């Protein structure tokens, strides 16, 4: 899956990966934001537990394939973002998926508590985290790809206007 071409070749600039197809309900919010901002991206299911060799291959080739950021969502004992970060210097933006058993606290702590040396930028649990990780990825790309910066500016201006222009909660 790819969004609007922002790079010279239209190759994906952001990878969205998730530990299971069941994470798509959350991670679709990241894809929707990248699509809306015209950020070329790809979407894959890559499991740290079930397909570790695929994970290693994905991470090891990420930079050479032109990825500038990886948005990685996982739930429960959420090793995926940390393991990706261990195998690539491409920035990894972790999204804790809201688990059924512990409401995503397990996912959050698994992703955020990285020992010093291998960073994972960690976002909020669930849909908000997925959306914000995508917005953050766009911000990382804004200088290199001015049209992405302009799309991000327009999104924020509209968001502001939607509040300012509708500030009476009774109506
Ligand atoms: C994790 O296990 C996935 O990221 C998912 O959030 C969780 C449950 O996966 P399924 O059992 O629904 O495939 O690896």
Is 77 a member of any domain?
A: yes
Which atom of ligand 1 is nearest the CA belonging to 19?
Answer: 4
- Domain with residue 124: its CATH number is 3.40.50.1970
- Cα of 23 vs centre of ligand 1, distance in Å, is 7
74 lines ligand 1 (CB under 6 A): yes
Is 166 a member of any domain?
A: no
Q: Give the span between the Cα atoms of 9 and 20, in whole angstroms.
A: 29
Closest CA to ligand 1's atom 6: 75
Question: Which tens digit of pLDDT belongs to each residue from 129-158?
Answer: 999 999 999 999 999 999 999 999 999 999
Q: Give the span between the Cα atoms of 126 and 131, in whole angstroms.
A: 9
Total number of domains constituting the chain: 1
pLDDT band at residue 1 using 50, 70 and 90 as cut-offs = very low
What's the length of the chain? 171
What range does the domain containing 91 cover? 14-160
Average pLDDT in the chain: 95
Q: Enumerate the β-bridge partners of residue 69.
A: 14
Q: Determine if residue 50 is labeled as part of a ligand binding site.
A: yes
Q: Is the ipTM reported for this complex over the cut 0.95?
A: yes
Is 146 a member of any domain?
A: yes
Q: Give the span between the Cα atoms of 74 and 20, in whole angstroms.
A: 8
47 lines ligand 1 (CB under 6 A): yes
Is 86 a member of any domain?
A: yes
Is 171 a member of any domain?
A: no
Residue 132's CB is within 10 A of a number of other CB atoms, namely 18
Is 93 a member of any domain?
A: yes
Q: Give the span between the Cα atoms of 58 and 74, in whole angstroms.
A: 16
Backbone angles phi, psi at 133, to 5 degrees: -60, -40
pLDDT band at residue 3 using 50, 70 and 90 as cut-offs = very low
Q: Determine if residue 20 is labeled as part of a ligand binding site.
A: yes
Closest CA to ligand 1's atom 12: 22
Is 8 a member of any domain?
A: no
* Residue of 23, 24, 84, 110 to mutate, ligand 1, most atoms within 8 A of C-beta: 23
- Cα of 139 vs centre of ligand 1, distance in Å, is 28
Q: So what's the pLDDT on residue 5?
A: 45
DSSP, residue by residue, 117-165: TS--EE--SSHHHHHHHHHHHHHHHTTT-HHHHHHHHHHHHHHHHHHHT
Is 6 a member of any domain?
A: no
């Amino acid at each position: 899956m790819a969004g609007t071409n922002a790079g010279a070749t239209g190759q994906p600039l952001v990878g969205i990966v998730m530990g299971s197809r069941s994470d798509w309900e959350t991670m679709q919010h990241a894809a929707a934001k990248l699509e809306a901002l015209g950020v070329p991206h790809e979407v894959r299911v890559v499991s740290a537990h079930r397909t570790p060799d695929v994970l290693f291959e994905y991470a090891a080739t990420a930079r050479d394939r032109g990825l500038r950021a990886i948005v990685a969502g996982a739930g429960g004992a959420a090793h995926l973002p940390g393991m990706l970060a261990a195998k690539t210097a491409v920035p990894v933006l972790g999204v804790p998926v809201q688990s059924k058993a512990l409401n995503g606290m397990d996912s959050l702590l698994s992703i955020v508590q990285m020992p010093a040396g291998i960073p994972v930028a960690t976002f909020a649990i669930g849909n908000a985290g997925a959306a914000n990780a995508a917005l953050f990825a766009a911000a990382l790309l804004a200088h290199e790809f001015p049209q992405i910066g302009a799309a991000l500016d327009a999104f924020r201006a509209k968001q502001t206007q939607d509040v300012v222009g509708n500030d009476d909660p009774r109506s």
